[in-house]
Amino acid sequence: MKVLMVGATGKYASLVVPELRQRRVTVRALVRDQSKSDAARQQGAEEIAIADLQDPDSLHAAASGVDGVFHINPAFAPNEAELGVAMVEAAKASGVRKFVFSSVIHPSISKLSNHAAKRPVEAALYESGMDFTVLQPTMFMQNFDSSWNTVLEQGCFSLPYSKYAKASYVDYRDVAEVAALALTGDRLGYGTFELCAPGMVNRIELAAMMSEAIGRTVEAGEPSFDEWTQAAHISEGSRREGMRTMYADYDQYGFPGGNALVLRAILGREPRSLQQYIQTLASRTTSS
């Protein structure tokens, strides 16, 4: 079997590559330019397709001769929906049999651009005639990675919304395993699945987990959005404005989810937990 991977060099989709390789799938990585080829091969890709999600002809060529496509949208891109639909249309035109889309939990929250942009892609898939699997993961635990050094240096875990707001999480390695199962088997065909680790926690509870993992106190910070984006070096543009709206929504409603029934049933085991993920981050720090 051969699968075209969109995002093979990215932080999340790259986790799907080893799951596919473990199942003896040939991975063709879609990259925008030749400079990303080496990185894709280091992740495990055996073939490289140079293509641009804004160029339908290049997508058609990239998808030709593959059995399946894994697609994840570039979140907060101003034309995110159009890019995803273009990949679906190119896959259909190329005769692709299976298409797995990494969407988002609650795409119906239309005021959030990174949620609303997933809906047209899902609709295009449902109407494509291809064997589809739509994955709707909640917030990724891998997002902690970028702030972990700051947690260790400053003893504070900060995000620009209420520290009392509860959110749900999932380890994207579990999502990657589900994606590989969907591409290599029929059990998940024509299905749309919410993927969550069990439970919801607020940032105070998260900071307590971090404190226990590293053996010293971590506080829960609550900076303003502008303070946070300045510290995170997020420049003006669609991504920043999309995040502003998203965090304002989290401030009021949190990010509900945490029902692990579906993920547990698909994996046949307990999903990876927040405590496990944070302990892994702490152990990496100790060993490095």
Look up the CATH number of the domain holding residue 26: 3.40.50.720
105: left (phi over 0), alpha (psi -120 to 50) or beta: beta
Q: Confidence band (pLDDT; 50, 70, 90) for 284?
A: confident
Whether 59 maps to a domain, the answer reads yes
| pLDDT score for 3 | 98
**Number of domains the chain contains:** 1
Is 285 part of any domain? no
Residue 280 lies in a domain: no
pLDDT at 288: 52
14, part of any domain: yes
Residue 201 lies in a domain: no
Q: CA–CA separation, 188 vs 99, rounded Å?
A: 11
Indicate whether 287 pLDDT > 60.
Answer: no
Show the DSSP H helices in the chain as ranges. Answer: 16-22, 37-43, 56-63, 80-93, 113-116, 118-126, 148-154, 172-184, 203-214, 225-232, 238-253, 261-267, 274-287
Q: How many Å apart are CA 40 and CA 7, to the nearest integer?
A: 9
Average pLDDT rounded to a whole number, residues 11-30: 96
For the segment 160-189, the average pLDDT, to the nearest whole number, is 98
Mean pLDDT of 50-61: 96
In-domain check, residue 94: yes
Average pLDDT along the chain? 96
Model pTM? Answer: 0.96
**Domain ranges, residue 121:** 2-140+169-195
Whether residue 150 is contained in a domain is answered as no
Percent of the chain with pLDDT over 70: 99
- Taking the alpha carbons at both ends of the chain, their separation in whole angstroms is 38
pLDDT, residue 255, reads 97
In a domain, 162, yes or no: no
